Amino acid sequence: MRKLAQLLQQGEVSSTEIVQNYLDRIAQEEGRINAFITVDKEGALAEAAASDARRKQGEPLSPWDGIPIAVKDNICTLGVRTTCGSRMLENYVPPFDAAVVTLLKRAGLPILGKTNLDEFAMGSSTEYSAFKAVRNPHDESRVPGGSSGGSAAAVAVGEAPWALGTDTGGSIRQPAAFCGVVGLKPTYGRVSRYGLVALAPSLDQIGPIARNVGDAAVLFSLIAGPDSRDATSSSQASFRLQLEDEPFPKGLKIGVPEEYFGEGLSSEVRQAVENALSQLEALGAVLVPISLETNVYAIDTYLTIAAAEASSSLARYDGVRYGMRVEAHDTNTMFEKTRGRGFGSEVKRRIMLGTYVLSASHYEAYYEQAQRVRTLINQEVQRAFEEVDLVITPTTPTTAFRIGEKRNSLEMYLSDLYTAMANLTGIPALSMPCGLDSQGLPIGLQIMGSHFQENVVFQVAYWLENALKGGSLSNG
């Protein structure tokens, strides 16, 4: 990206050329990848022209002015349809931009289009999009992961240089791992959620997906920072980091939790992550075996809380003010028919589950219990970060699975086994490629830091990326 920015600055290439190039790539690849729900060709080209005009005036909005981006379709874009991958919002056009979209526009980034996702971001394969399933560019018979499967696949196949995703239980990191790109779920509260269509507001975060660590850090710096429109947005300063200028932090303590290397982890994934860990040790890091016992509860805690919050957050889709409506003789029947037909089966499953755990007779045993276990998980993670600076784990137990392979929703939920903890505790977590398996599928490694420690996460990821590129341990 730095190179592209340099070319733009030197006038070697125009934003219009770059955008056109990506639009061509989209035209070429979309037939097999299905990464986009909406391609805003005219909008992107108009923004590119405006960017070129600014460059000519010598007034670019940022070093990245003119470099386009793709945005997940659960992030609101003024005047551009935002479907959340659902029939319910198939024709919904927001009258406002999400806070992050405003920031992208302020930096001069043309938006190529809106990327495909599991309906309302509920899923781990992007098969639950109401419109079409995204395919993994590394193997079209496989899923790209989800729910930000469209964004990850678009970046991996070169339809966009970078993209925004959203992550509630692993929805940035898991597809980043499956598609061989870098994705960050930031600290909760670091990126404004204003304009992000809620799944589970206490867990949701928007984050960058990019081809390498440096680009992800740049994109993160563009979207991070406080926002007065999001009451859960932290006042923590925006993010600035010159990765190249920072040496590897020698003596850095990296926690390796045994629970993440146990049953269910594929041996190839384990090997790749362990190789990466030895690279880091060689760079001067100290590996510390730790235990995160409560992770065994993470999936169920996450599912309970996410479903509860989703059942409430998705109640507004009732056919009155916007979106789809199925007519009926009375309002209540209209509600039931609209919601019964407007939502897909996974969304309805989670709404059912969330309604169940919140209903008066079950609240204490399920929802309240999960909230309290969440506290125990937090406490354990906090204790861990008193001992170590970072925690490194595999991002997913396996590499990308086949489309249609996971028929059972519970099996699908296990994809979030290693990722849900970061959402429950609000800590930043980054997934980066650390090799390929024997079938040539990317393997993801996850780096978790304590709250607001994205700089350390990026720094270590950057050095690891360099080390892996240096080659001896890379399988591919």
Partner 1 sequence: MIERAEVMRIAKLARLELNEDEIAQYQEDLTRFLESGAKLRQVDVSEVEGTSHVIEIRHPLRKDEVRESLSQAAATAGGPHVVNGYFRVPQILEGQE
Partner 2 sequence: MGKYETVIGLEIHVALLTKSKFLCTCSTEFGAPPNSHCCPICLGLPGSLPIVNEKAVEYGVRAGLALNCQINSYSKFDRKNYFYPDLPKAYQITQEAFPLCGPGYVDYYYNGELTRTKINRIHLEEEAGKLVHSGESIVHSEYSLVDYNRAGIPLIEIVTAPDISHPEQARVFLEQLRLILDYVGVSDCKMEEGSLRCDANISLRPVGSQTMGTKVEIKNLNSFRALERALEYEVRRQEAVLKQQGQIGQETRTWDERSGKTFSMRSKADAPDYRYFPEPDLPPLELKKAWIEDIKDSLPELPLERLHRLMEQYGLSHYEASFFVNYPDFNEMLEETAAIFPNVKMITNWLMGDYSRLAREQGHISPKMMAGLLEIVDQEIISNNQGKDVLEEMFATGKAALTIVDEQGLRMVSDEDALQRVIGEVLAENESLVERFISGETRLFGFFIGQVMRKTQGKANPEVVNELLKTALNSRRI
- Per-residue x/- marks for partner 1, 233-272, CB under 8 A? xxx-------------------------------------
Please report whether residue 196 would count as binding partner 2 according to CB under 8 A.
Answer: yes
Active site (annotated) includes residue 72: yes
DSSP letter for each residue of 384-449: HHHH-SEEEEESSSSSPPBTT---SHHHHHGGGTTTHHHHHHT--EEEEEEEE-TTS-EEEEEEEE
Specify the residue, 25 or 349, whose C-beta has the smaller distance to partner 2: 349
Partner from partner 2, partner 1, none binding residue 360, C-beta < 5-8 Å depending on class = partner 2
Active site (annotated) includes residue 56: no
Active site (annotated) includes residue 438: no
Q: In what order do the strands lie in the sheet with 253-257?
A: 36-39, 111-115, 69-72, 162-167, 205-210, 182-185, 429-436, 442-449, 390-394, 253-257, 286-290
Site for partner 1 in 422-441 (CB under 8 A): 424-426
Q: How many residues bind partner 2 (CB under 8 A)?
A: 44
CB neighbour list of residue 267: distance below 8 Å, 6 or more residues apart: none
Site for partner 1 in 444-473 (CB under 8 A): 451
Site for partner 1 in 185-204 (CB under 8 A): 187-189, 202
Least distance from C-beta 448 to partner 1, angstroms?
A: 14
Binds partner 1 (CB under 8 A): choice among 41, 253, 270, 337: 337
**Cα angle at 108 between 231 and 13, to 5 degrees?**
155
Specify the residue, 367 or 463, whose C-beta has the smaller distance to partner 2: 367
Gap between the Cα atoms of 431 and 178, Å rounded? 10
Binds partner 1 (CB under 8 A): choice among 114, 138, 193, 325: 325
CB contact at 8 A, 220 and 207: yes
Gap between the Cα atoms of 68 and 48, Å rounded? 8
Site for partner 2 in 75-114 (CB under 8 A): 75-76, 82, 84, 89, 92, 94-96, 98
Least distance from C-beta 349 to partner 2, angstroms?
A: 17
Site for partner 2 in 365-404 (CB under 8 A): 367, 371
Here the contacts of 239-242 (C-beta below 8 Å, separation 24 or greater) are: 239/190, 239/454, 239/455, 241/217, 241/454, 241/455, 241/458, 241/459
Give me the torsion for CA of 150, 156, 162, 163, rounded to 10°.
10
Specify the residue, 315 or 376, whose C-beta has the smaller distance to partner 2: 315
Least Cα distance to 175 among 419, 363, 371 occurs for: 419
Please report whether residue 321 would count as binding partner 1 according to CB under 8 A.
Answer: yes
- Interacting residues with partner 2 (CB under 8 A): 75-76, 82, 84, 89, 92, 94-96, 98, 193-198, 200-202, 228-232, 308-309, 311-312, 315-316, 318, 320-322, 331-332, 335, 355, 358-360, 363, 367, 371
The set of catalytic residues is 72, 147, 171
